[in-house]
Amino acid sequence: MVYLSNGNFETEISQARYSELHIQEGDVLEITISALDELAVKPFNKITMSQTANNSGNSNVNNRMGDNEYIVNAEGFINFPVIGDIFCKGFTKQQLRTDLENKLKRYLTDPMVSIKLNNFSINILGDVKNPGQKTSATEKINIFQALALAGDMNDSGNRTNVKLVRYSEETKKDEIVSLDLSDASIVNSPYYYLQQNDILYVEPDKNRQIAANATNPNRGLLLQIGAALLGLGTFILAVSK
């Protein structure tokens, strides 16, 4: 089973471009602040706030998912220490980093912001060896790396018509695109690199679909219903004569 067979693979792959992910609702961001003055930077890091609270016996400070983690709410905000609500939905990590550093300059000298997406996941369904939700340690993952997480397609998987479902912030709807993984030009597609929460569906080929229908446990019942309807039709015709 051959991938990327049509076209000049070496030329095509050299033109592949990665576009940084955009932050979505429900994303879990790990944000760490550093600066020259270690004491001044403490109020801006949840982990140091938590340690201070524990030492003082106040365990209610820092309602957090994890150390320095923030979840993007339905309105697209995170609640950041001292600064308050910060809108970040639709931002790239670099855009959020720049925005935070500019806000922190009011309090810190030469602040540096580190941002990591901690819940990057994709869903792979259909004719693959190990379907399900897959997590990745890296946010830069292409279609073939994703399929590798699922153990690759089965031999019966249709490599010329893989469906990708992606939510669009512009239309507020799921978009469905068909991808031909046998064509080397797929590496130039804007869908070659996946985004968090993407869904890949590998359709089985026609032979597999026919075989699945032949072994469908409801097939016998359907045949019985069809036979009954045919018999009823025959009876009605006989009576009408």
Average pLDDT rounded to a whole number, residues 11-19: 64
Average pLDDT rounded to a whole number, residues 158-174: 90
pLDDT given at position 184: 84
**Residue 142 located in a structural domain:** yes
- On whether both 43 and 54 belong to a single domain, the answer is yes
Distance CA 81, CA 71 (A): 13
Is residue 139 exposed (0-12), middle (13-18) or buried (19+ Cβ within 10 Å)? middle
**Residue 72 located in a structural domain:** yes
pLDDT given at position 58: 45
* DSSP code for 182: T
- On whether both 133 and 100 belong to a single domain, the answer is no
Contact by Cβ (8 Å): 167, 174: yes
Average pLDDT rounded to a whole number, residues 112-116: 96
- On whether both 199 and 127 belong to a single domain, the answer is yes
Average pLDDT rounded to a whole number, residues 209-215: 61
Quote the number of domains for the chain.
2
**Residue 216 located in a structural domain:** no
pTM of the model: 0.71
Residue range(s) defining the domain that contains residue 67? 28-117
Q: At residue 198, does pLDDT exceed 90?
A: yes
Portion of the chain with pLDDT greater than 90, in percent: 58
- On whether both 138 and 162 belong to a single domain, the answer is yes
Tell me the CATH number at 154: 3.10.560.10
- On whether both 136 and 110 belong to a single domain, the answer is no
Q: Domain end: 117, 134, 159, which one?
A: 117
- 137 vs 40, higher pLDDT: 40
Average pLDDT rounded to a whole number, residues 2-12: 63
**Residue 134 located in a structural domain:** yes
Tell me the CATH number at 103: 3.30.1950.10
Average pLDDT taken over every residue of the chain: 82
User: What does the CA dihedral 41, 46, 48, 52 come to, rounded to 10 degrees?
Assistant: 120
Q: At residue 133, does pLDDT exceed 90?
A: yes
